Amino acid sequence: MTESTPLIWEDYELLDSGGYEKLERYGSYILRRPEPQAVWPKKLALTEWEDLPQAWFKRTSNTHVQDSSERGEWLRKQNMPDQWTISYPCRQHKLLFRLGMTAFKHIGIFPEQASNWDFIYDRVSALAIDEPAVLNLFAYTGGATLAAAAAGAMVTHVDSVKPVVSWAKENADNSGFSAVRWIVEDALKYVQREVRRGKRYHGILMDPPAYGRGPSGEKWILEDQITNLLEACSQLLEPDGFVVLNLYSMGFSPIIAANLLSLYFPAAIHPVEYGELVVKDTSGMALPLSVYARF
């Protein structure tokens, strides 16, 4: 199953993709960034790719390999601010995201995750409990945290990078959500400690990178540690709980993600759904950006 971003999202639009790049509009600003999945030719004219963007991320190297630590520099026009804010309409709630250009081409939001945000909101809303507990691991700037909080959850937001957690807190404050615990910690260590404490959660959200580092230099390699993470998480989930697993590794198919959830959460009362998260450009071309499994 393929899930795409909403047909109507006023503050976001994928204008074109191709030539290992993507051209996107975030609010009033158009950005040009590398995209290793966009192997097809561009559809808009080269002059539009050069004239439309207010900012362009230029790689330090010329490789097209996907790498979350990929470095480069932003080339900006005079009217391009350092930071700006956009919103996402998650059901009846407006989620606010402060965006900014980082040295690793990211800007603080992954628009394809809108499908997961809607799913999270719906699952929290369906729980027959006031203020259910939700654990968000590798939580970045908090899109999933905001969606869960908007539906009434008490969220534990865990990420190993302190400035990113501060960024997420700013998004939550601006969106009007205060029922969030902010944790700067290695995700696997935190989950294992929660198991020892006997904690339980009604929802567990996981968005692990292919590679990463914890706050004390702990090394995270997805293929080596994903099973340890899922084993620990399986001991934290309430019987009627839900799970979202999102993977950005280009070597993982949706079936792998679904197999992992089926194996480690065999008692799930709902079937596992899985697929790719995509964004469609203005020509209708679907750009795949991650795989997911959830129940």
Q: Which CATH architecture has domain 2-85?
A: Sandwich (2.60)
d(CA 94, CA 175): 7
d(CA 188, CA 229): 6
For residue 70, the model assigns a pLDDT of 67
Quick check: 39 pLDDT over 90? yes
Task: Quickly tell me which residue has 């929802």 as its tokens.
Answer: 203
The answer to whether 148 and 175 are in contact (CB under 8 A) is: no
For residue 104, the model assigns a pLDDT of 86
Quick check: 71 pLDDT over 90? no
Going by the DSSP 8-state scheme, the letter that residue 189 receives in this structure is H
Q: What are phi and psi of 232, to 5 degrees?
A: -70, -45
Quick check: 131 pLDDT over 80? yes
User: Across residues 96-101, what is the average pLDDT?
Assistant: 97
Rounded percentage of the chain residues whose pLDDT exceeds 90: 83
User: Across residues 239-248, what is the average pLDDT?
Assistant: 95
For residue 63, the model assigns a pLDDT of 56
Task: Quickly tell me which residue has 């969106």 as its tokens.
Answer: 175
**CATH superfamily, with its number, for domain 108-294:** Vaccinia Virus protein VP39 (3.40.50.150)
- Residue 115 burial (CB count, 10 A): 20
For residue 68, the model assigns a pLDDT of 47
The residues spanned by each domain of the chain are 2-85, 108-294
Length of the chain: 295
| Strand, helix or coil for residue 42 | coil
Comparing C-alpha atoms, which of 274, 5, 244, 13 is closest to residue 115?
5
Give CA torsion, residues 160, 161, 162, 167, to 10 deg.
-120
Quick check: 96 pLDDT over 90? yes
d(CA 272, CA 295): 5
d(CA 254, CA 260): 10
Going by the DSSP 8-state scheme, the letter that residue 197 receives in this structure is H
Instruction: Give this prediction's pTM.
Output: 0.93
Task: Look at 188 and 219; give whichever has higher pLDDT.
Answer: 188
Q: Which residues pair with 14 in a beta bridge?
A: 24, 281
Comparing C-alpha atoms, which of 147, 161, 138, 128 is closest to residue 290?
138
d(CA 63, CA 67): 10
- Residue 92 burial (CB count, 10 A): 7
pLDDT digits (tens, 9 = 90+) for 189-200: 999 999 999 999
User: Across residues 221-237, what is the average pLDDT?
Assistant: 93
**Which of 45-54, 67-76, 119-128 shows the lowest mean pLDDT across its residues?**
67-76
Comparing C-alpha atoms, which of 254, 279, 245 is closest to residue 119?
245
User: Across residues 9-14, what is the average pLDDT?
Assistant: 97
Rounded percentage of the chain residues whose pLDDT exceeds 70: 96
Quick check: 281 pLDDT over 60? yes
In this structure, are strands 55-59 and 29-34 parallel, antiparallel, or unpaired? parallel
Average pLDDT, the chain: 93
For residue 38, the model assigns a pLDDT of 96
